[in-house]
Structure 1
Amino acid sequence: MIMTKIKIAVSGDVCTNVLTWRTFNKNTKGYKWENSPYVHSITKEGGALLLSKLVSLACEDTVVSPKLTDTTCELPKELLQSSSELDLFSVTGEENDYHKVYRVKKFLGYSGPVSGKPELLPIVNDDENADMVIIHDEGNGFNSDEEFWPLAMKSSTTAPVIIYKLNNPTIPSKLWNQIEKYYMENTIVVIDADDFRAQGVNISKSLSWERTAIDFVWQINNNPNIAFLADCYHLIIHFGVEGAIYYHKTNTTAQSQLFFLPYAFEGDSIKENQGKMYGLSSCFVAGLTANLASGIKNKEELSRSIKEGIRSGIVATQKYFINGFGENVEARDFPSVSIFMEKDNDFIYKENVQDVNIRSTTQDCQSCWYIIKDKTSINLAEISYNIVKYGEQSALKFIPIAQFGKLKTVDRTEIEAYRSIKNLITEYVSTKSVSRPLSIAVFGTPGSGKSFGVTEVASSIAPNLIVKLDFNLSQFQDLTDLTNALHKVRDVSLMGKIPLVFFDEFDSSFQGKLGWLKYFLAPMQDGVFRVGDSIHPIGKAIFVFAGGTSSTYRQFCGEDIEDKSEYKQFLSEFKDAKGPDFISRLRGYVNILGPNQTDIKWDQLYIVRRAMLLRSLIERKTPYLIDASGEAQIDNGVLRALLKVPRYKHESRSMEAILEMSRLTNAMKWEQALLPSKEQLRLHVDEEQFYRYLMYDSFFSEKTDRIAAALYNNRALLCDNNRETKQFNEIKWENINEEVKTYIYNQIRHIPGALNKINYELMSVDEQPENIKFTDKEVEILAEFEHDRISLEKKEAGWKYGVNYDEDKKTDPMLISWANLDRYYKNHIIDSIMAWPESLAKSNFKIEQLRTLCYCETQMKLRNN
């Protein structure tokens, strides 16, 4: 029998929150004091009192907890009391959003009890048989005072599900020891990430979800400060209102799972102009509780309920923050039950919250784990096609994507670098008094977009404050040019703006190798430059040093040099040029990857970067090629060539040039005929390779008959000698009926897509390639795919399952799932698949492996095989 209700006991450290805010009376009549700002004040529940209220709203169950009879009456003097100042803030934080609600403007502090120890309150109508216990532990005495613990936690014979909301994860307390001794297996520990970090747990913030997740795994396995938490069966670390990590341990293994919003990173959802809210962690726990309570009633596995509860918790905290205290703090119940209800046209749903298992990685692997690889069942090439065709929002719905102004990226390396730069610039812009510029270095090949990326990042922070200036040092003739440039920088600063100064090709020669570096040391360190006997302060400025001869930071520092004697010579010259002094003044750097593959071993996302750049170019330069549904009208051959050509000679400039050179002014679709000539293409790509990808469909179509005949004949050699198959294969290709030919033609047309399913692609080559051999697992995948494709085609044509094959009745015994298919029919399809490699090779088509794993993963896979 399914339970209809359960009993939940909530307790812990308690406090009240005194909220104050001002309103302005514009009425000039009446008493003089009425023309002054009016200060309002109200007291709301806090701590375990607020938590119990949220749990009551989230669940339809019986909740017992401490109670205050009336917050408007005089409260116990020993009760802990916090004070906050409220103000009206934009709901969404957008400039054009005039809808405002009250949120916290400033936390003012606590009014502590005279004795020092805050008063605790007993649970009203406590029950030792409570099914769930929720503890709010802020380190204010509850964890050491057994008198106020829920009765269900004082008995060694009870086994409630416990949610332990821990705000101060330090040395284990008396309460922790009790839990560890009797209740550990059914306890879910919930900690806010910032509380976690406050204890010396070094988890990166707001760089990338991958980095945050990997940092957590390392810390939980190696940090002695939190070693006691590694013994938790269930541990949840929640990151703001955007994500959480669920650490689940059994007797033999430990697995960590990341839950995240793909369109936001930690801290992104709450803007500076939106204020703050207390109680976010409590709201998260309330959302979690609702799912756990439902799971208990339905006897669901605890870990499964937790995972759904995390999604609910993230959604609830988002709504809780957006609602704030409402438009009228006194007139509205707080909190609102609506934050736990799903409504039409909600701005967030549980389905928006994605999850992925966190991989264990080694430090030697530079790109071991990308969420984009784990969250998609298709290969990177197909993802890239979809990005260009349908846009990032559609193609990357479940993938973390970072956006800075017009710049979008899904490459974890770029995300982390750009967000690091953004954090630096944000901190610098918000600092009132600074004595020197913020210095950042940017490296990348010419045309990779060094200027564009950093400009968009800076503009996304303070678009009305930042003014961009560009200077190319390779064009400077002497020091006067640099002095003039710094005067222009100073002029912008004196106008109250922040100059974003690009010093392009700062690593070019001047009076010797890296000759400009020494002249930047004083401006970078002291924020001044000298002209004769005069010293001029530069003021607040952001210096961006863009490399011209070095494409990466490692190359600039000589770290890529393997020969010891060569490196020693480089280091000597580097020191003479003041290279180490220059680096010591930098506060950050970023390597811009661009649309070309930077490393065949590690860089597998270059095709995704190309796709996002190409989609951006189409949107900005030829928006008329995108129809009303958002689909880009581009020929498949053109798209394939643009994404697959091995190298662009001038990086992003070449991609842009090919689009601009195409005759698209009055075009409805980017057809092959509208591309520039081969001679013009040669300026930007290897035109022969480009045309090979471009004409892929034509090559394939021309050779369809040859491939079909070879496929038919090769399959005949592979088939067994049963009666039906033998009779079928005794007929020559020229004499078989059109229905069989059509079946084989259809199969051929779908071979490229089928090969993509096992991470292969088809390439047209000049000479006949060697045959490859599919593994048994690959054959099984291809055969099932082929079976599903044929079944769908037949069902759409009106066929249905029947014990016997009957053309008149349109029945076929093969129209069932692959798992239930008779071995005879399975072999029939498998024989056809096995004939693919040789048939394709005879027509000069090479089956080539697609790289979806990074180098070290590939090596590990080979070793395991």
Structure 2
Amino acid sequence: MRNKDVKIVVSGDICISVLQWITDPQNSQGFNWQTHLNVHSLLKPGESLLLSELVALATGASILSPRLQEPGSFSSGEFLRSTAELDLFPVSADGKSNDKVYRVRRFLGFTGPSAGTPKLLPIIDDDENADMVIIDDENNGFNAGSDYWPLAIRASGKSPVVIYKMNNPISSNALWKHLESHHIENTIVVINSDDLRAKGVNISKSLSWERTARDFVWQMENNPNLAFLAGCRHLVVPFGLEGAIYYTNQKEAESRLYFLPYEFEGGLIKEIQGKMYGLTSCFVAGLARRIIPQICSRNGLVKSIGEGIKEGMVAAQKYFIKGFGRSIDSLSFPNAAVFVETENDFIFREHVQDVKIPRYFNKNCYSCWYILKDKSSANLEEIAHNIVKFGEKKVLKYMPIAQFGKLKTVDRTEIESYRSIKNLMWEYISARNTVHPLSIAVFGTPGSGKSFGITEVAENIAPTLIRKLNFNLSQLSSPADLNSAFHKVRDLSLEGKVPLIFFDEFDANLEGKLGWLKYFLAPMQDGVFREGDSLRPIGKSIFVFVGGTSSTYREFCGEDLTDETEQKQFAKEFKSAKGPDFVSRLRGYVNILGPNQTDENQDQLYIIRRAMLLRSLLELKAPHLINETEEAQIDTGVLRALLKVPRYKHESRSMEAILEMSMLTHAKKWEQSHLPSQEQLKLHVDEEQFLRHLMHDAFFSEKIENLAMDIHEKYSENNKNNPKIVSDYAKPWEVLSEERKSFYRDQAKSIPNALLKIHYDVISIKEQPKKIEFTERELAVLAAYEHSRWCTKRKETGWKYGAIRDDSERTDPHLVPFDELPNEKKSGMVRMVAAWPEVLANSNFKIEHLKFLCQCEKAV
């Protein structure tokens, strides 16, 4: 990108980066020093000096900045120094390539100047008419040294675009006060999320993008330490290499989240890949690259910042991957290639998704905001259907999805729980001198896959280190049997492994309710177990307590009880069983959400969980049903029944069983005829409800004639006093013309599709349901849809618009858009669709809401 006519001033704190690395001996027979490890050292520009180089590479603009011109300047003791130890690290963490590059093994710290404060440098050929000013404020003296500030922000009457990279987010520094007073409209503040957290700003990390975004919005609105930032016109906060939030406050505050769907904050950089400095500087350079084309058109600044964030995220990731290169001897750093897009890149701007963050949240509704909802115009049932048919990678590619080994989930509750557990496990495994086990609990209904999820998370962290053991407490006869279990754990620990021990049904009875708990207190707290008179250490290990009688943590702790007497009785028994002591030793828990709905109001994503499970089962057990375009061959009725049956008796095991019992070995498509018999289905689902969903289309087709007759009757009844009604409409069904009968049949057939427009579905049931009433908004949508369908059908049969109705000429004045109809005709259409609930109820069809992520949406 060439922008030589654009002048950019880059300045800020000055630092020299001291890079040190060790190489193997040069030979075994040369000079003594050649036969030993060789230590190398190199000086490179850091902080604003590095930033100016990155901006020059990114933009191709004329860069005005400080320079170290004299050869001896780098070694001058007047400058601040930062020392980093380098080493060779894998280019990527997936193990697919053996290539390595130099990155930072550890940062050794700073070396201050020999006397006074760190030296600052003037800007060479500074120009007060610069188009853009980029400042790197690392809180090392520049923000107080006004003599070194760019002329473009000091001169009166100038209004450059300012990108202010702030390391220390406080309102008291002189530079910020100056920018706030004179350049706030055009200033883009960039603060790394970890710098905010270092100031006590509580924003969650590596849980879910929704949680991070909600925390950020709350902090901006309520944290007094951020009050000075709340007035920013433009604030950009990178969250690792994987996300960023763009906050604007012009007419009113708005925030937008930019994220990689398959990643979370900190997820791209693995421990085995080392570290890099300058990541935020590279992000800023990418941001500037996209802003420059709009620099003369300030109206496009918001949009260009959004594109710049995507560019910055991509550039920072490529910068990290390339590191310092494969050889320091031929070091080209920073590498211009990080700002050049090629077809072989591993990431593109299109991979970065963005979504507006709601400013206000319903505190009583945990599910009030899901990115899944905002990134798709489809309802959840349509998304679920497409996941099974086409796979989650195609359907959910723009939405957050977490993967731990073979475990995949889009449910925010599960994502946050699993990532919390992953963070706990990682910290525990990485820590030294731990003397007690890490204890976590897992709850869920039988068959929900409680052990599977935790196993995948653990093996995803340290596959060669983790060793799994299982003990079912319901099968142990006495507490003494635990000692043999602890010995096996101890043996693995002594081998240098980290045992992952599942204590299944830990809440089973033993000498009363929760009788096992007291026998785990000492091992959990002190990491020892008693054998006779001896205390034996267990060693580093992870205890996973898997519930057998409680499906949630709240149920285990009695928090779901509402009756006061029951609460008191439970509390007494829980305390007697050492329940509070046991809970206090837990460091985390997960409620596993299986394919059944756990809560009618809060858990609407169960249908997505079903879809992802069904797709994975098809890929694993019936891959021949997935064609070369990755589309699953499955009958619509079978898919509908599997997704919509109210409950699976044995959760995921039942879904798997139904597939295994179906005759699919030589099938090309999963047809209804391949399903097991009703008696076999009865083992896993309510077979009658399953069959009603299965035969939904057939049931509806059978009743088209009855529905058409009912619609005609309701229409005649609603218009019996209307003298303008065509006489044919009011005749008994038996004597209606075939054309008029076809009109009503077509309307009856269209009802399910029409109801989808207002997020309703039609369900066949045994008994006659209660009639519902549509809202005014719903009636308007249905009337407009029905009129549009009628116009299309009318034109297909040769009718056209005419000022008057003429059957012989086939002209009709109502063949116009719904909004152009006379009010009387509109009202007639509204009355017609208002009769649908009663018509459907008469034929035992229930109208029910499609699944939403939260009940708040029903009111919209």
Query: TM-score, normalised on structure 2?
Result: 0.92
Deviation digits for residues 434-471 of structure 1, max 9, x if unmatched? 21111111111111111111111111111122111111
In 2, are the aligned partners of 1:15 and 1:82 still within 8 Å (CA)? yes
Higher mean C-alpha deviation, range 72-81 or range 318-327: 72-81
Any idea what SS the aligned residue of 1:342 has?
A: coil
Alpha carbons of 1:820 and 1:147: their partners in 2 closer, same or farther (altered >3 Å)?
farther
| Residue 97 of structure 1, CA deviation | 1.4
Match of 1:777 in 2: 777
Alpha carbons of 1:559 and 1:164: their partners in 2 closer, same or farther (altered >3 Å)?
same
Alpha carbons of 1:634 and 1:164: their partners in 2 closer, same or farther (altered >3 Å)?
same
Match of 1:529 in 2: 529
Alpha carbons of 1:782 and 1:393: their partners in 2 closer, same or farther (altered >3 Å)?
farther
Query: Is 1:852 the counterpart of 2:852 in the alignment?
Result: yes
Match of 1:374 in 2: 374
Listed as ranges, the matches of 1:833-852 within 5 Å are 833=833, 836-852=836-852
CA RMSD in angstroms comes to 3.4
Listed as ranges, the matches of 1:386-397 within 5 Å are 386-397=386-397
| Residue 25 of structure 1, CA deviation | 6.3
CA distance in 2 between counterparts of 1:791 and 1:430 reads 68
| Residue 591 of structure 1, CA deviation | 0.9
Structure 2, unaligned stretches of length 5 or more?
none
Listed as ranges, the matches of 1:61-140 within 5 Å are 61-69=61-69, 74-140=74-140
Any idea what SS the aligned residue of 1:331 has?
A: coil
| Residue 300 of structure 1, CA deviation | 3.2
Query: Is 1:348 the counterpart of 2:321 in the alignment?
Result: no
Alpha carbons of 1:67 and 1:618: their partners in 2 closer, same or farther (altered >3 Å)?
same
Match of 1:163 in 2: 163
Match of 2:324 in 1: 325
In 1, are the aligned partners of 2:120 and 2:142 still within 8 Å (CA)? yes
Alpha carbons of 1:573 and 1:771: their partners in 2 closer, same or farther (altered >3 Å)?
closer
| Residue 778 of structure 1, CA deviation | 2.6
Deviation digits for residues 469-502 of structure 1, max 9, x if unmatched? 1111111111222111111212222222211111
| Residue 75 of structure 1, CA deviation | 4.2
Deviation digits for residues 62-107 of structure 1, max 9, x if unmatched? 3222122377875433122222222222222112311222222222
Alpha carbons of 1:296 and 1:17: their partners in 2 closer, same or farther (altered >3 Å)?
same
Any idea what SS the aligned residue of 1:84 has?
A: strand
Query: Is 1:636 the counterpart of 2:636 in the alignment?
Result: yes
Structure 1, unaligned stretches of length 5 or more?
none
In 1, are the aligned partners of 2:7 and 2:130 still within 8 Å (CA)? yes
Match of 1:186 in 2: 186
Query: Is 1:337 the counterpart of 2:332 in the alignment?
Result: no
Match of 1:420 in 2: 420
Deviation digits for residues 251-289 of structure 1, max 9, x if unmatched? 5x3222211111100011111122211111111111111
Match of 1:520 in 2: 520
CA distance in 1 between counterparts of 2:66 and 2:818 reads 59
Alpha carbons of 1:407 and 1:790: their partners in 2 closer, same or farther (altered >3 Å)?
farther
Deviation digits for residues 545-595 of structure 1, max 9, x if unmatched? 111111111111122222233222222222221111111111111111211
Match of 1:314 in 2: 313
Query: Is 1:546 the counterpart of 2:546 in the alignment?
Result: yes
Query: Is 1:358 the counterpart of 2:357 in the alignment?
Result: yes
Match of 2:175 in 1: 175
Alpha carbons of 1:714 and 1:346: their partners in 2 closer, same or farther (altered >3 Å)?
farther
In 2, are the aligned partners of 1:758 and 1:781 still within 8 Å (CA)? yes
Amino acid at match of 2:43: T
| Residue 834 of structure 1, CA deviation | 5.0
| Residue 614 of structure 1, CA deviation | 1.5
Any idea what SS the aligned residue of 1:189 has?
A: strand
In 1, are the aligned partners of 2:143 and 2:174 still within 8 Å (CA)? yes
Match of 2:672 in 1: 672
In 2, are the aligned partners of 1:292 and 1:306 still within 8 Å (CA)? yes
CA distance in 1 between counterparts of 2:426 and 2:794 reads 59
Any idea what SS the aligned residue of 1:366 has?
A: coil
In 2, are the aligned partners of 1:5 and 1:60 still within 8 Å (CA)? no
Match of 2:588 in 1: 588
Any idea what SS the aligned residue of 1:162 has?
A: strand
Match of 1:216 in 2: 216
Amino acid at match of 2:613: L
Deviation digits for residues 779-800 of structure 1, max 9, x if unmatched? 44445656787899999x9999
CA distance in 1 between counterparts of 2:799 and 2:98 reads 58
CA distance in 2 between counterparts of 1:410 and 1:105 reads 34
In 2, are the aligned partners of 1:799 and 1:812 still within 8 Å (CA)? no
Query: Is 1:568 the counterpart of 2:568 in the alignment?
Result: yes
CA distance in 1 between counterparts of 2:820 and 2:339 reads 43
Listed as ranges, the matches of 1:277-288 within 5 Å are 277-288=276-287
Alpha carbons of 1:759 and 1:721: their partners in 2 closer, same or farther (altered >3 Å)?
same
CA distance in 2 between counterparts of 1:229 and 1:21 reads 40
Amino acid at match of 2:149: W
Match of 1:270 in 2: 269
Higher mean C-alpha deviation, range 375-384 or range 17-26: 17-26
| Residue 132 of structure 1, CA deviation | 1.8
Query: TM-score, normalised on structure 1?
Result: 0.91
Any idea what SS the aligned residue of 2:299 has?
A: coil
CA distance in 1 between counterparts of 2:593 and 2:301 reads 44
CA distance in 1 between counterparts of 2:789 and 2:28 reads 78
Alpha carbons of 1:726 and 1:787: their partners in 2 closer, same or farther (altered >3 Å)?
closer
Listed as ranges, the matches of 1:384-783 within 5 Å are 384-711=384-711, 714=714, 726=726, 729=729, 748-782=748-782
Amino acid at match of 1:678: Q
In 2, are the aligned partners of 1:256 and 1:357 still within 8 Å (CA)? yes
CA distance in 1 between counterparts of 2:235 and 2:494 reads 52
Deviation digits for residues 267-325 of structure 1, max 9, x if unmatched? 11111122211111111111111222222234433222222221222122122222222
In 2, are the aligned partners of 1:718 and 1:835 still within 8 Å (CA)? no
Amino acid at match of 1:700: F
Deviation digits for residues 697-717 of structure 1, max 9, x if unmatched? 111222233334544665567
CA distance in 2 between counterparts of 1:428 and 1:665 reads 46
Alpha carbons of 1:26 and 1:312: their partners in 2 closer, same or farther (altered >3 Å)?
same
Amino acid at match of 1:282: S
